[in-house]
Each structure stands twice: as structure tokens, then as C-alpha cells.
Structure 1
Amino acid sequence: MARGPAASWSCSRPPSNCGVPDAMTASWPTTKTAATTSLDASSALVPADNFSRSMTGGAYRVTRINGTREVLARIALATNDCTATVFQSEPWLAAIGRGLGRDGRGELVALDIADASNGERVALLPLTIARERRRTVARFADLEVSDYRGPLLGPAAPRDKAGERALWAAVKRGLPGVDLIRFEAMPAEIGGRPNPFARRHEATPARLKGLSVTIGTTVEAMLRDRGKKYRKEAERCFRLLEKQGATKFRHAETPDEIHRAYAVLEAQQSARQMAIGQAYVLDQPQYHEFYRDLLITERESGFAALFTLEAGSEIVAALMGVVRGGTFTLLRISNGGETWRHLSPGRLIVIEAMRHFVERGIRTFDMGAGDYPFKRGFGAEETPLFDLVAAGSLRGLPAIAVARAKAFVRNRPALMAAIGRVRGKG
């Protein structure tokens, strides 16, 4: 299945590239708990530690791990036998954990779920648990920066309804005291394995979909496939750009290069959002530090990458993303504004990034959540995303009703249009 994270031409995240996050009311309280039950000898794949608590019941055993260091250690052990989206990978979650620590917002929690009969891993769920509006809410670990969320799926992940029910029961056993479970923006498949949480009957289509492009042979062949008009327009823009001065596509690799390019990306995005009258949030400390830290920390591993497109001495576009396996995931993109708009520098830097990565064997370009015209221009294919919102106590029931009402309206375009017209009149 094609995967589809992120951008409008001057895209602002989070959480859906150009959206503004809800008010951040979470305090992320987490308390480390000593182990109360040791795992038996069959649990080699899911070891216990001093910061975990194991609970057995039904077909699956669940171990709850508290603390960022302990969660990341468990994820590192699970990497070889689990599939996950890039936003549940070890380097991304490590950056999330550092962000939580910088902001004083607690630590990561995880549920490690195994087959009770043989200890084979079923799933590993990296989570945060927060107090939000007088409710205790569990979510997949995020700082409003991840386009996709979901579990790490192990080799014993269920593929039938009985297994899915058993897994859900294990999750609820591992989250005592939680009033609301919000598993949002989940792909239906993760690494080719069906996502059991997206298949539950309570799951509803998410507000956004993912979009991605796979290059079969060369970027030039892909451009030809988009039609003569599209290809000729891209070629014309490249020619006009070259007339403005020597054109350079650069990979920012040193700390100084990263700081310079990242500052330009932020300034261009901020200017764009102000020009169209939208609030810009990515220059707020928690977001600024998250992306800057990710770029600096992962510059040598190759996980995070930042590029610029220059004409003469001016940066006309910037692009940031992460690499995992054969996929580059676009996180943020910007351009030089109205002066350069006629040259579509955002499109040009994407094309140059595609050439860069195809030469290195990376052929899938994850454009992220959000259906923007430029993504369709590249022939991006959709990846449906799903939300699962479930009550853990009576306090969670009102949120369930609200979530279902929103999903009902969202899936009826005529009703959404009517509501939009009424709001416009107001």
C-alpha cells in the first residue's frame, strides 16, 4: 500500500503541515513504578526491568514501561522484529523524549504486549499520558509534530477479529486510570502488516489523508508521465531561475550550515503565514527546538536532512525531512515569497530532492498528511488514516460523542459545505 508526512508551498506544522494545534493543556504526569511481577522464562522477547509492571490476562501479557530512557531502550530491542512508521522510529521518538524533557512535560510511557503462551512480541505502543480538561488521556507519543501515529507491530500482531479484541483488552489493562484513549492519524497498514487499531469498529476516517509518490525509474521519466504541460512548466521555471544567478541545490551538513538554512526556512514560513493571515506557531520554543535538535543530533546518521535551493547568493526555497529505509518523508518546506512565486521554487526544490535521493536508491517520497494541490501535481497517491477514540471511564464518554459527531459531518461533504456557509454568514 502506498504510504503517504508534509507541506504546502510554505507549510507550517503541526500537526498536519499547515494546521495550528489545539491549546496545549497537557502536563504529561508520569510516575516510575517498580516492577510488581517478574516475567517468566518464556518472555525473552519482552524482558522486565526495574521500571516496568507486567499484567497477564487472556491471550496476551502486557508490560508497562515508564520513563523515556527505559522506553527507548525497549524500542531499540524491538527494532529488528517490529514494523513501524517513521514517526515511531527510535531516532524520532528519542527527539520526542528530549522535547518532553526540555519542556518539563514528563516522560514517555510504553505498553509492550506479548503472546502469553510463548512471549512472542505482539505490539509495542509508545505513549504519553496527560491531564487534559480534567481527564487523563493516553495518546501515541507526539509533540504535535507527527503526521502518522501507531504502534510498532511485532511478528505476533493479530490478523483476525479475535486477536484484535484480545489486543484491545490488553491495552486497556495496561492503562488503568486512563479516562480517554486517543489513537489518531493511524495508517491502515504499517510495514505491510494490518494495523489492528485502525480495523476496530469504533475507528473512523481521520480528517486528513497521507500522500506519497514512488519514482519507478528516473525523476525525468516521472515528470514526463505527469504530462507535457507539467514537464514543460518545470523546465521553464528552472531556466528562469538560472537567469537569476548561479543555481545551487545544497545539503546542509555542518552545524553552521544547518543553523543558517534552518533560520531561513523558519523566516520564510513565518512570512508566508503572516501574508495569508494565518497564525504561525513553529517559531514557538517547543517546535523550534524540536526540529533544530533533530537536525543537529541526526545529521551524521542521515536520518534528518535539510536542503536549500539558491539563486546567486539568495536561498529561494528550503526543505526538511527524514529518511528511513527507502522513503524520504517531507516535514517542512518554504519558499522566498512573492518575489519568487512565478518560478514555483517549492516545486523545484522537491524535484531536486527527488533527484538527490533517487541517486541513492531512495524512491518513495512521503508528502505527508494534507491534500494540497502541489502534491497532486506530482501524482501523489492517497493513504487513508484513521482515528480510534475510546473511553476508559465515564469521564471519557462526552469526548467520544464529540469525536463521532465530527466524523459523521466530515464524511458528508454536502453537510460540511452547508456548515461552512452558515459559519461564513456568522
Structure 2
Amino acid sequence: MQGFNVAHSQKSLPAPAISLEPHFDFLSDDYARLYAASDATAFQHPLWLDSFYRRLAEHRGAEKIVITGRDAATHRLVFVLPMIRRRHTGVTLLESCDLGVSDYAAPVAAPALLNGPKLAPAIHAALPAYDILRIRPVRAEHVAVWQALLGGEARKLDFSAHAAVLQGDFAAWRETALDGSFRRILDRKKKRFLKQQGAGVRLLSESAEIRTGIAHLARLRAGRFDGDLIQATEVERFYTEVAVNGAATGFARTYEIAIGDEKIGYAFGIAAAGRFNYLLIGCDYGVHGRHSPGLILYDRMIEDWIANDGKIYDFTIGDEPFKKQFGTVETPIWMVCENATWRGRLGAAAFAAREQLRRLRNKADEPGNSSGKLGANDAD
């Protein structure tokens, strides 16, 4: 496809043995090794996918579909395609592990995989039946890889991702990345907020306080966003499990903003390979809106991420205007899709029309306080 290139290394791999593994263990050492060697994102991390399939998929009527490629001689993994299959309005969808919570879909593959023989025919032979193949959201660097493995058409979606590239120390980064007027306004708000006794932002580390933090975050968001996924019990449990299990290794990071014993906001995200992916925020804007607690949280989170050698602070998908204030670069987001049957063609047209209506409605969300996530209906 024009505009996308697949990078090739010098060494190629022989044709792997391809199969459907419905009981695949994402916490296995073999998967951890493959994931670490791949360019997959935090949304393919072992902890994320293990919790996704156990906590979300079964509650949403989604079947676990995992296609693997293994070295024929050693049986070691050379690629994993994590997907789900489900019925929706009479149509069978085969799709990436999204369900409204995963911002980037990427195959998990050895770097030399695409230098070997064409794999798409063998992969399709292992796939279960479907009407629509839908892989989304996909960053540009992963489009060609998905197409090489599954075929399909690439379509640019009508929303983007936004990330800030972090360079030097925090003060130097702010000086170059933030607009001068915004920086001064933010500094005044921070100074006024931090003057209060016990005011501050901290990274939570204990399991009990993380559980409490995610629960409080969900309650602070209640009624603020149309179709807010974390209001569903199974979704809150999913985020809580990831937050708790990922805290020890730094994969998951939950931040609290407080004034003494008064907890006024929380933010949560996941990190891998120097990239922090911001996912959720909840603050008491009714009582503390004058402090702009969300903006203070983002600022202090970026400061903490730079101090931990972070390279990118990713606000992930969604085009909320506040993201540009932090010197972000916009990245287009794609979908790789195929309508395999006449039901698929009819269903895809209906889904597209409905999504467009939702996008228009979602633009009415309050600027500056959004989670950056797709709404619950977008997970359909």
C-alpha cells in the first residue's frame, strides 16, 4: 500500500508453524521474550492482555482468538496476533483487542518475521469464520505489518493520537515545548495550589491505595462523559487489576493530587519502552476547578516521567484541544479492515454511519477534562 513501508532486517526467519491457540498464556516466559524483542505497544504487554481476556472479553461476549507462529524446530514464538471474535447486530466481527480500552493495536512479532515467506494465506487458513475483519486503532508504523499478515484495506480514521517528545530536563523541555502564555498561566496555578498546606501530586505504590484511587477516579468521572466505560463494573475491575499488578514494575502508574487528606483527583496510564500512555483522569472540578487540577496533574506527571528517563508522554487517541497545550505532535490513526461476506458489507456501512453520528455528538464533551478514550458505544 502506498505510504507504508515494512522495515526489513538482514536476517530472515523460516516459515513458522501457524495455529489458533484459544488457551494461549500471555504470562508465559515465551510471550514475554517475544514481546520484549518486538515493537509492539504497551497495549500488547503481558499484563494488559492477560487482564483484557479474563476481565473484559468474557463479560462482553467476546471469544478469545489468538493466532501464533512458532519456529517449527524449537517451538518458540515468532509472532502472536491477539484478537477477539463476537456477534454484533447479526454480524460476526473478528477484531483487535479493543473494546474501547486499547488505544493501539499492534502485532507482536520478531523483527525478522517479514523477511521470510508470505504468511497471510496460512494465517487466514487458521482464522475462524467472520463477516468483518476490523483491526483498530492502528498507528501508521504498524499498518503495513497488519496488512502483510492479514491483508485487508487500510482506512484513515477521523481522529488522531497526540504525544509529546521529551528532551533534556523538565525545565528545559517546558521552555521549548509549551507556549509562553500557557506556561505562565500553568505556573501561577501550580504556585497557588502548592501554597496550600499538604498540597501535592504523588505516584501511588501500595496496592490498597491504588485500588482506592481507581475507584475514586471512576466516581469522580460519573456523569461527565457520554458512554464512559469505567462506569461499568467489569471495566473498573479491569483497570484496577492492571493498575495494581503493573505498579511494581512501573508498567502501570496511578497518580493522586490532594490537599492534605482531601483527595481531589487521580490519573492513570501504562508505560513501555520509554513511552507513557495516559489513559484516564478524574478530578473534583466542582470544588477545585479554580486550580485546574487536571492540568497540574499532567504537568507533574510529565515531570516525574522525565525524571524516570521517559522519552515520550503520549496523550493517546482523541483530539481534545488541551493536548496541544503540552507541545504534542499529532499522529494519524488507521484501521485495517475487510468485509468477507455480504453481511459484512451491509454491517460495515451501518457501523460507519452510526460512528459518524457518535463522533459529532462526542464533540460536545467538555474540553480539557476528557479521558482521551473512545466511548462505550465506539466499542460496538
Residues 391-400 or 65-74, more deviating: 65-74
Match of 2:45 among 85, 89, 93: 89
Q: TM-score, normalised by structure 2?
A: 0.79
**CA separation in 2, counterparts of 1:238 and 1:70?**
42
Matches within 5 A, 1:10-409: 61-69=17-25, 75-100=31-56, 103=59, 105=61, 108-113=64-69, 123-158=79-114, 166-190=118-142, 195-197=145-147, 202-225=153-176, 226-273=178-225, 278-402=226-350
**CA separation in 2, counterparts of 1:406 and 1:283?**
22
**CA separation in 2, counterparts of 1:351 and 1:125?**
36
The offset of 1:139, in angstroms, is: 1.1
Kindly name which structure, 1 or 2, has the bigger radius of gyration based on alpha carbons. Answer: 1
Residue 40 of structure 1: aligned partner: none
CA-to-aligned-CA distance 1:135-171 (integer Å, 9 cap, x gap): 3221112342101112113223437xx97xx443333
CA-to-aligned-CA distance 1:54-101 (integer Å, 9 cap, x gap): xxxxx7752211124379665335224322111112111011122147
CA-to-aligned-CA distance 1:228-247 (integer Å, 9 cap, x gap): 21111111001211244322
The one-letter amino acid paired with 1:285 is T
Check whether the contact 1:113–1:170 (CA below 8 A) recurs between aligned residues.
no
Residues 135-144 or 210-219, more deviating: 135-144
**CA separation in 1, counterparts of 2:58 and 2:222?**
23
**CA separation in 1, counterparts of 2:208 and 2:27?**
32
Q: Secondary structure at the match of 1:257?
A: helix
Identify if the C-alpha distance between structure 1 residues 311 and 288 changes in structure 2 by more than 3 Å, giving closer, same or farther: same
Q: Secondary structure at the match of 2:129?
A: coil
Q: TM-score, normalised by structure 1?
A: 0.71
Unaligned runs of 5+ in 2: 1-12, 365-380
The offset of 1:338, in angstroms, is: 2.9
The offset of 1:217, in angstroms, is: 0.8
The offset of 1:224, in angstroms, is: 1.6
Q: Secondary structure at the match of 1:371?
A: coil
Which structure: greater helix fraction? 2
Identify if the C-alpha distance between structure 1 residues 155 and 332 changes in structure 2 by more than 3 Å, giving closer, same or farther: same
**CA separation in 1, counterparts of 2:237 and 2:52?**
11
The one-letter amino acid paired with 1:328 is F
Give me the CA root mean square deviation.
3.5
CA-to-aligned-CA distance 1:113-152 (integer Å, 9 cap, x gap): 4699999976420111222233322111234210111211
Identify if the C-alpha distance between structure 1 residues 271 and 236 changes in structure 2 by more than 3 Å, giving closer, same or farther: farther
Check whether the contact 2:98–2:136 (CA below 8 A) recurs between aligned residues.
no
Check whether the contact 1:71–1:109 (CA below 8 A) recurs between aligned residues.
no
Q: Secondary structure at the match of 1:66?
A: coil
CA-to-aligned-CA distance 1:361-400 (integer Å, 9 cap, x gap): 1121111100111111001111221112212333322234
CA-to-aligned-CA distance 1:279-334 (integer Å, 9 cap, x gap): 44412111111011112222222211111111233223211011212111111012
**CA separation in 2, counterparts of 1:367 and 1:339?**
25
Identify if the C-alpha distance between structure 1 residues 245 and 80 changes in structure 2 by more than 3 Å, giving closer, same or farther: closer
Residue 8 of structure 2: aligned partner: none
**CA separation in 1, counterparts of 2:26 and 2:292?**
46
Check whether the contact 1:68–1:97 (CA below 8 A) recurs between aligned residues.
no
The one-letter amino acid paired with 2:153 is E
**CA separation in 1, counterparts of 2:209 and 2:119?**
46
Q: Secondary structure at the match of 2:247?
A: coil
Q: Secondary structure at the match of 1:315?
A: strand
**CA separation in 2, counterparts of 1:267 and 1:357?**
26
**CA separation in 1, counterparts of 2:80 and 2:100?**
20
**CA separation in 2, counterparts of 1:71 and 1:255?**
20
